Amino acid sequence: MLKSSADRYGAVAISVHWLSAIMILALLGSGFRAANAMDAMVKAEILRFHIPIAIAVLLLTLLRIVWWWRFDNKPPAVQGAPLWQERIARGVHVAFYLIIIGMIASGIGTIALSGAGPAIFGAPAATLPNFTDYPPRGAHGLGALLLLALLAFHAGAAFYHQFFRGDGLLRRMWYGD
Ligand code: HEM
């Protein structure tokens, strides 16, 4: 089923969720590798992977917003969860949207202000600008740490439900009938 039902997410929401998760992990890995790369050629090569994946995450996030807004409704919270946990879960989900959009905006801001686009995507350049000279780069680094913390919390909460409460939460976020 493409749409969500009372007790599980639909195929569109599940696909967007796991595709985004894989791509965001790839972005965190490639982003930290780019930041630590000493050689401009290596850094540019990593960014040629990093930036298109980030644009794909942006498109998936826009699809996700339109999907929930116009076409689908989220299943209700799992039975028996206290209201405060439901509120925190909702807050974490909103924070994900804000941080992901903030990461994409600050990444684009860093490239736009530093003018590094041609050096990354054009003819190979021996040098790249020093990205840390540009304010959006600071926000990008801070956002990355916030995203890591949020991911750890989100995954921890999912495991808590699955293995300690035994309410089968993960089943709702995987394909099935
Ligand atoms: C959800 C989206 C994104 C995530 C999760 C992400 C993640 C990261 C991470 C973890 C870093 C390293 C931060 C640090 O060490 O302080 C980084 C660096 C960077 N990212 Fe992203 N990024 C995203 C989107 C983008 C976009 C859209 C662009 C450009 C259009 C971009 C361009 C860069 C650049 C230029 C760097 C700096 C590399 C350096 O300092 O040498 N990122 N990113």
In a domain, 5, yes or no: no
Mean pLDDT value across residues 80-97: 94
The first and second tokens of residue 21, run together, are: 């998760």
In a domain, 157, yes or no: yes
Which CATH number is 160's domain given? 1.20.950
In a domain, 99, yes or no: yes
Work out the percent of the chain whose per-residue pLDDT is above 90.
Answer: 89
* Cα–Cα distance for residue pair 76/6, rounded to 1 Å: 7
Which atom of ligand 1 approaches the CA of 144 most closely? 10
Do 56 and 23 form a contact (C-beta atoms < 8 A)? yes
In a domain, 2, yes or no: no
Which amino acid would we find at residue 33? R
The first and second tokens of residue 13, run together, are: 């929401």
Pocket-forming residues, ligand 1, beta carbon under 6 Å: 24, 27-28, 31-32, 34-35, 43, 47, 50-51, 54, 57, 100, 103-104, 107-108, 110-111, 131, 140-141, 144, 147
Do 43 and 116 form a contact (C-beta atoms < 8 A)? no
Residue 127 CB burial class (10 angstroms; 0-12, 13-18, ≥19)? exposed
How many domains does one find in the chain?
1
Query: Which of the residue ranges 32-36, 70-74, 77-81, 107-111 would you say has the lowest mean pLDDT?
Result: 77-81
Tell me the pTM.
0.95
CA distance to 57, 64, 164, 174, per residue, from 147 (Å): 14, 18, 25, 23
Residue 120 domain boundaries: 11-172
Give residue 177's pLDDT band: very low, low, confident or very high (50, 70, 90): confident
CA distance to 7, 77, 96, 129, 136, per residue, from 113 (Å): 47, 43, 25, 10, 9
CA distance to 42, 99, 108, 154, per residue, from 96 (Å): 30, 5, 18, 10
In a domain, 39, yes or no: yes
* Cα–Cα distance for residue pair 141/95, rounded to 1 Å: 16
In a domain, 48, yes or no: yes
CA triple 147-163-148, angle to 5 deg = 10
In a domain, 106, yes or no: yes
In a domain, 3, yes or no: no
Which atom of ligand 1 approaches the CA of 120 most closely? 35
The pLDDT, as a whole number, for residue 73 is 97
Instruction: Determine the straight-line distance between the first and last CA of the chain, rounded to whole angstroms.
Output: 8
